[in-house]
Amino acid sequence: MEAAYASRAASLQTLDLSPGYASLGERFVELRDPTPLPAPYPVAFNPDVAALIGLDPEQGSRPEFLRLAAGNARFGAVQSFAAIYAGHQFGTFVPQLGDGRAITLGEVRTPGGQRFEWQIKGGGPTAFSRFGDGRAVLRSTIREYLCSEAMAALGIPTTRALAIAGSDAPVFREVPETSAVLTRIAPSHLRFGTFELFHYRGEFDAVKILADYAIEAFYPELLAIAHAGDRYASFFRTIVERTARLMAHWQAVGFAHGVMNTDNMSILGLTLDYGPFGFLDVFDPAFICNHTDAGGRYAFARQPTIGLWNCKALAEALSSLISSDDANSALAAYQPAFRTEYLELLRAKFGLSGARDEDVNLYSSCFDALTAGRVDHTIFFRALSSLGRTSSPYDDRVAELFENRSEWYDWQRAYRTRLESEPRDDATRHAAMRAANPKYVLRNYLAQQAIAAAEQRDYSELERLAGVLRRPFDEQPERETYAAPPPDWAREISVSCSS
């Protein structure tokens, strides 16, 4: 099997590359070469993502790959580019943004016909850098590399990370840091804000060009819809529903994005642009992972609402293509899509094979108990995955997670009553629950430990942690410490938009 794969895998020279999105013309992009990274060296390489795009993973060790990963080369005649877009940032419209430090080197087409943009982040200034240096720091590239791969392993739609190239060249943020370049991969990095830019400029023909490009490239099933208005309405509705389902996945796993601006929202329903993200430690609906979000606009519990708000902003941006009735009909599908997906995910987390109306109250009362008891979200659900129908000494270990144990005892009685009608035996149910409740997530303190080691040119912890996160549902007894709650010093970790 490996030999068969090797015969199909491409080298850097034989990848099927094209300009992709840049073929729409300079109205949509700035043609721009990256700024070379001084004296680059390899920090990380992801063979899984190499295989995803049809690249032979052995290519990652070639000097030519390092030059591409560092932004010191491009793919021959394929012109690299930065995309222009706008966006609502913290609710305020900014009429022009764009790839200020991201440069796309081209689009890879796999033998199976899949499209993947090969983009580097930190490749130097572009026309959209807004006086920035266009660089990324090692800290932020490691965080995005780890989290995008952690999310993929959790089954959550996301951009992917192929590699990190580092350099000792200094970059000045709050303090001097070393620079790095992240190579990230996605079918497309098109954003809600891309459509907003041309809508608010009154360039409605460009909005149509964008929509036609997106439909042909990523929603080809919609081409069968003969009437253009219906086709664009279905396009928008699909984005709305994908966004709703993405929000459900974030909420179920306890992930907070931190900067849900419309320029960070993918038209493919991908988790895009990892900056001040965070997974819940103690369950807290008001959790704010971004210390610059003083008003809590993007607090954990608000994410589904913000997802809908952003879809409404996209509806306005598409108003030259779809009627208000069609837009409202699509937006009305958001809450049902979110609720259906979220309840299905919760049923799996709680180990229930069927749905009952009263289950919603069971879930809600559990989250109330977790909030009041300041219980670790990930540890609790993993522990719940071993709870039997009848009492056992294991109950005490779960109860120890709660500051107020009486709330736990009240809830678990109701839960066990519900389990009486569960047709599966405990062993079967527990296995299913462990497949839905990860033992390992990327807590900020774990990322910080990998960053601290990498800043000393030791990438072994980065590699170990990435390996753990690729198997989040497995027990991995040799890596048990990675499932521990955060230590006291982790309270001092602060992430912001510069992260």
- CB-CB contact of 310 with 88 (8 Å): yes
Taking every pair of Cα atoms in the chain, the longest distance, rounded to a whole number of angstroms, is 68
Q: What is the pLDDT of residues 352-382, one digit of tens each?
A: 998 999 999 999 999 999 999 999 999 999 9
Q: What is the pLDDT of residues 21-36, one digit of tens each?
A: 999 999 999 999 999 9
- The question of whether 33 is a catalytic residue gets the answer no
In this predicted structure, what is the pLDDT of residue 7?
Answer: 47
> What does 230-247 look like in DSSP terms, one character per residue?
HHHHHHHHHHHHHHHHHH
- How far is CA 76 from its chain centroid? 30
Q: Is 129 in a helix, a strand, or coil?
A: coil
Q: What is the DSSP letter of 33?
A: P
Q: Which residue has the higher pLDDT, 390 or 137?
A: 137
Q: What is the pLDDT of residues 99-127, one digit of tens each?
A: 999 999 999 999 999 999 999 999 999 99
Say yes or no to pLDDT of 157 above 70: yes
Say yes or no to pLDDT of 341 above 80: yes
Paired sense of beta strands 160-172 and 136-137, if any: unpaired
Q: What is the pLDDT of residues 453-471, one digit of tens each?
A: 999 999 999 999 999 999 9
Q: Which residue has the higher pLDDT, 420 or 393?
A: 420
Say yes or no to pLDDT of 488 above 90: no
> Which position has the token pair 């610059």?
292
Q: Is 250 in a helix, a strand, or coil?
A: helix
Give the global pTM. 0.96
For 42-61, what is the mean pLDDT? 97
Phi-psi region of 39 (alpha: psi -120 to 50; beta: other; left: phi over 0): left
Q: What is the pLDDT of residues 256-267, one digit of tens each?
A: 999 999 999 999
In this predicted structure, what is the pLDDT of residue 404?
Answer: 80
Tokens describing residue 165: 């190239």
* Contacting residues for 272 by C-beta, under 8 A, at least 6 apart: 158, 159, 186, 189, 191, 264, 265, 266
CA 103 to CA 31: how far, in whole Å? 9
Q: What is the pLDDT of residues 75-104, one digit of tens each?
A: 999 999 999 999 999 999 999 999 999 999
What is the average pLDDT score of the chain?
A: 95
> Which position has the token pair 């899509």?
337
- CB-CB contact of 257 with 250 (8 Å): yes
Tokens describing residue 328: 């409202």
From the list 451, 454, 462, the residue with the least C-alpha distance to 499 is 451
- pLDDT-derived band at 497 (thresholds 50, 70, 90) equals low
Selecting among 99, 263, 273, 293, the annotated active-site residue is 263
Say yes or no to pLDDT of 2 above 50: no
- For a pLDDT cut of 70, what percent of the chain falls above it? 98
Q: Is 266 in a helix, a strand, or coil?
A: strand
Q: What is the pLDDT of residues 275-334, one digit of tens each?
A: 899 999 999 999 999 989 989 999 999 999 999 999 999 999 999 999 999 999 999 999
Q: At what angle do helices 426-434 and 377-384 cross, to 10 degrees?
A: 150
Q: Is 318 in a helix, a strand, or coil?
A: coil
In this predicted structure, what is the pLDDT of residue 6?
Answer: 43
The strand pairing partners of 346, in sequence order, are none
From the list 223, 103, 214, 118, the residue with the least C-alpha distance to 160 is 118
For 390-394, what is the mean pLDDT? 79
In this predicted structure, what is the pLDDT of residue 498?
Answer: 56
Q: Which residue has the higher pLDDT, 396 or 40?
A: 40
